[in-house]
């Protein structure tokens, strides 16, 4: 006797899905994707299990939509644990994309070959090259499969064309690619938050209606990856050049100081003049002892005195020249040192500006996830050290996708900006607000208990409902679901965030528009 899951798998293999309009390919692809991501993150595993259950024949369309929306939202939020490092993160994303396409078209041998080459990529450039190859191949598959009777012989092994024939539609391709591409754009946004092209690609992705437009969007995303990688390399080269120049300037400074204060040469000069003066004085003494003729003695003393005066004058002139030379070198070294200090100060200012940009969200003006990740560790350390309470608010805009789909992305952006400004105006200077990703914000409230933080959250909910959002002359209903949690003794930032996340989903499950504490 078959289980429901087994029956569902059999139905998917035979192309006989349930009556909710989900194709067999979509179900099979979704199941494969859930298995692909299994074991990475406890919460993700829970959402994956819900998604697999909703793919069964017994599940309703609304159940499927709800579980899929939660799953995709968690993926897009960036909270799934992936390998650290930008290059490795990009490669991981690309491998997932290739694996998803391969599971959809196992008979297209080029996909498997490209995935194998991608897994051997040793640099970001090699990863980009493999992604660049998949774009035209993916479009060719989609175009061929969209035409009845089209041949896939150039792409698949003999005898297997029928398996893939007509299987891949634009909707299927977007189901596979869109979540991965959104995550890639989030990663790029951390590196280049002010690049307006990232927003443009997001908007274009939401408006795709043909394979040609999909290819164009993928090409734009690939160009952004290449340019970000090139920009990182240029900054690295600039830093290396600056350090090399700094080393040369320091070496010049060291050599100049050594030359301007030549103690050994100065001591030798003093020793020589002492010997010469001593010799002349000794000669005078000998002349006095050996000569009784006063005129001869006067002449000898006069001659030696003139020679002594000349030698002393020569010594003084030599020392004067050395002092002038040393003075000139010291002035030059002072100028070089001032120029070097100005250059170092300029670089420090640039680095501070760059750091500030990297931790700011360009759309809302509050901090981004990168800034939050750094700040929460600082606040946790301070709270554990001093013993002051620390609370966190996880804020989610209810039905934000509906606002975007119904009123457009500009209206969605306006909602994000307005809510960010509203919350920023209702917290203290010591509090920290960040856009965590998509339609989620997170706030850190140092020195605040969970009950006081809950009152702040309720104030946000009430204020947003009073805002009265409008677009195109229509009223736009906007509300918030907020989870609140207070740091426990010895608790990690991940555990604190997870408790706030659970509290936020509790609000969602109870009808949205409210707040709850963990």
What is the predicted pLDDT for the residue at 244? 66
User: Phi/psi class of residue 134: alpha, beta or left (left: φ > 0; alpha: ψ in -120 to 50)?
Assistant: alpha
DSSP-assigned letter for residue 360 = B
What is the predicted pLDDT for the residue at 380? 95
What is the predicted pLDDT for the residue at 32? 46
Strand-strand pairing, 514-517 and 480-486 = parallel
Is the predicted pLDDT of residue 108 greater than 80, yes or no? Answer: no
Do 333 and 414 fall into the same domain?
A: no
Decide which of 161 and 240 is more confident: 240
**Domain-located, residue 416:** yes
What is the predicted pLDDT for the residue at 247? 64
Do 407 and 481 fall into the same domain?
A: yes
Instruction: Give the whole-angstrom CA distance, residue 403 versus residue 390.
Output: 33
Report the Cα–Cα distance between both ends of the chain, in Å, rounded. 43
Per-residue pLDDT tens over the stretch 189-223: 666 655 677 778 877 877 787 777 887 888 788 77
Instruction: Give the whole-angstrom CA distance, residue 467 versus residue 352.
Output: 36
Is the predicted pLDDT of residue 25 greater than 70, yes or no? Answer: no
Do 314 and 419 fall into the same domain?
A: no
Is the predicted pLDDT of residue 164 greater than 50, yes or no? Answer: no
Vertex 149: Cα angle to 147 and 154 (nearest 5): 90
Report, as an integer, the average pLDDT of 61-67: 62
Q: Could you tell me the pLDDT band of residue 345, with boundaries at 50, 70 and 90?
A: confident
Do 296 and 415 fall into the same domain?
A: no
Per-residue pLDDT tens over the stretch 462-494: 999 998 888 878 888 899 999 999 999 999 999
Among 58-62, 142-146, 325-329, where is mean pLDDT lowest?
142-146
pTM above 0.75, yes or no: no
Is the predicted pLDDT of residue 270 greater than 60, yes or no? Answer: yes
Strand-strand pairing, 480-486 and 474-476 = unpaired
Do 305 and 398 fall into the same domain?
A: no
How is residue 255 written in tokens? 């050599």
Nearby residues of 171 by Cβ (< 8 Å), 6 or more positions away: none
Do 291 and 413 fall into the same domain?
A: no
Please classify residue 434 by burial: count the beta carbons closer than 10 Å to its beta carbon, then call 0-12 exposed, 13-18 middle and 19+ buried. Answer: buried
Is the predicted pLDDT of residue 336 greater than 70, yes or no? Answer: yes
Domain end among 44, 64, 81: 81
**Domain-located, residue 8:** yes
Do 426 and 489 fall into the same domain?
A: yes
Domain end among 81, 98, 123: 81
**Domain-located, residue 209:** no
Its domain, for residue 15, covers 1-81
Q: At what angle do helices 493-509 and 369-386 cross, to 10 degrees?
A: 110
Is the predicted pLDDT of residue 514 greater than 80, yes or no? Answer: yes
What is the predicted pLDDT for the residue at 517? 95
Domain count, the chain: 3
Instruction: Give the whole-angstrom CA distance, residue 443 versus residue 435.
Output: 9
Residues facing 516 on adjacent strands: 483
What is the predicted pLDDT for the residue at 472? 79
CA neighbor of 117 nearest in space, from 103, 133, 101:
133
Half-sphere exposure of 212 (CA within 13 A, CB side): 0
**Domain-located, residue 212:** no
How is residue 305 written in tokens? 């005195």
**Domain-located, residue 511:** yes
**Domain-located, residue 459:** yes
What is the predicted pLDDT for the residue at 382? 93
**Domain-located, residue 270:** yes
Residues facing 486 on adjacent strands: 391
Domain end among 52, 81, 110: 81
Q: Mapping DSSP to helix (H, G, I), strand (E, B) and coil, where does residue 395 land?
A: strand
How is residue 174 written in tokens? 């977007």
Nearby residues of 269 by Cβ (< 8 Å), 6 or more positions away: 315, 318, 319
Q: Assess contact for 478 and 415: CB atoms under 8 A.
A: yes
Instruction: Give the whole-angstrom CA distance, residue 269 versus residue 264.
Output: 9
Do 333 and 391 fall into the same domain?
A: no
What is the predicted pLDDT for the residue at 456? 96
Q: Mean pLDDT for the chain? A: 73
Do 325 and 351 fall into the same domain?
A: yes
Among 36-50, 234-248, 298-312, name the most confident range: 298-312
Q: Could you tell me the pLDDT band of residue 24, with boundaries at 50, 70 and 90?
A: very low
Do 72 and 10 fall into the same domain?
A: yes
How is residue 160 written in tokens? 């297997």
CATH value at residue 488? 3.30.70.270
- Which phi and psi angles does 105 have, rounded to 5°? -130, 70
Is the predicted pLDDT of residue 170 greater than 90, yes or no? Answer: no
Do 408 and 294 fall into the same domain?
A: no
Question: Counting every residue, how long is the chain?
Answer: 518
Decide which of 289 and 313 is more confident: 313
What is the predicted pLDDT for the residue at 487? 96
Decide which of 316 and 441 is more confident: 441
Report, as an integer, the average pLDDT of 396-413: 88
Q: Assess contact for 5 and 56: CB atoms under 8 A.
A: yes
Half-sphere exposure of 456 (CA within 13 A, CB side): 28
**Domain-located, residue 135:** no
Do 378 and 478 fall into the same domain?
A: yes
């Amino acid at each position: 006797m078959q289980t429901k899951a087994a029956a569902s798998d059999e139905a998917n293999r035979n192309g006989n899905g349930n009556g909710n309009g989900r194709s067999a390919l979509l179900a099979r692809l979704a199941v494969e994707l859930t298995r692909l991501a299994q074991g990475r993150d406890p919460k993700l595993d829970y959402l994956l299990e819900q998604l697999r259950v909703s793919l069964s024949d017994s599940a309703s369309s609304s159940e499927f939509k709800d579980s899929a929306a939660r799953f995709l939202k968690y993926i897009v939020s960036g909270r799934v644990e992936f390998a650290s490092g930008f290059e490795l993160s990009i490669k991981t994303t690309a491998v997932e994309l290739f694996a998803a396409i391969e599971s959809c078209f196992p008979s297209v041998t080029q996909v498997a070959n490209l995935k194998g080459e991608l897994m051997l990529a040793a640099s970001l450039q090699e990863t980009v090259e493999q992604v660049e190859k998949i774009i035209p191949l993916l479009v060719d598959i989609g175009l061929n499969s969209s035409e009845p009777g089209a041949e896939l012989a150039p792409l698949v092994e003999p005898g297997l064309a029928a398996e893939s024939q007509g299987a891949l539609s634009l909707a299927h391709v977007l189901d596979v690619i869109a979540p991965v591409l959104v995550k890639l754009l989030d990663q790029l946004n951390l590196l280049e938050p002010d690049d307006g092209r990232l927003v443009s690609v997001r908007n274009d992705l939401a408006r795709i209606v043909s394979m040609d437009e999909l290819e164009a969007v993928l090409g734009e995303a690939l160009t952004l990856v290449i340019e970000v990688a090139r920009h990182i390399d240029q900054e690295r080269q600039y830093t290396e050049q600056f350090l090399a120049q700094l080393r040369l300037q320091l070496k010049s400074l060291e050599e100049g100081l050594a030359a301007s204060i030549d103690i050994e040469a100065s001591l030798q000069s003093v020793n020589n003049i002492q010997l010469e003066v001593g010799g002349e004085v000794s000669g005078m003494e000998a002349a006095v002892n050996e000569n009784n003729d006063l005129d001869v003695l006067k002449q000898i003393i006069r001659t030696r005195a003139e020679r002594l005066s000349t030698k002393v004058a020569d010594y003084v002139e030599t020392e004067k020249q050395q002092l002038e030379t040393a003075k000139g070198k010291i002035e030059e070294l002072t100028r070089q040192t001032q120029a070097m200090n100005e250059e170092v100060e300029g670089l420090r200012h640039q680095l501070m500006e760059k750091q500030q940009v990297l931790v700011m969200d360009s759309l809302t003006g509050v901090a981004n996830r990168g800034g939050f990740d750094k700040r929460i560790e600082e606040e946790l350390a301070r709270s554990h050290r001093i013993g002051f309470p620390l609370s966190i608010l996880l804020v989610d805009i209810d039905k934000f996708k509906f606002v975007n789909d119904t009123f457009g992305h500009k209206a969605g952006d306006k909602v994000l900006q307005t809510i960010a400004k509203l919350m920023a105006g209702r917290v203290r200077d010591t509090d920290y607000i960040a856009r965590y990703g998509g339609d989620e914000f997170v706030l850190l409230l140092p020195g605040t208990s969970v009950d006081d933080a809950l009152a702040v959250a309720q104030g946000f909910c009430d204020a947003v409902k009073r805002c009265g959002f409008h677009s195109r002359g229509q009223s736009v209903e906007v509300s918030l679901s907020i989870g609140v949690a207070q740091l426990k003794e010895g608790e990690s930032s991940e555990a604190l965030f997870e408790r706030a996340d659970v509290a936020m989903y509790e609000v969602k499950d109870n009808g949205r528009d409210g707040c709850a504490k963990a």
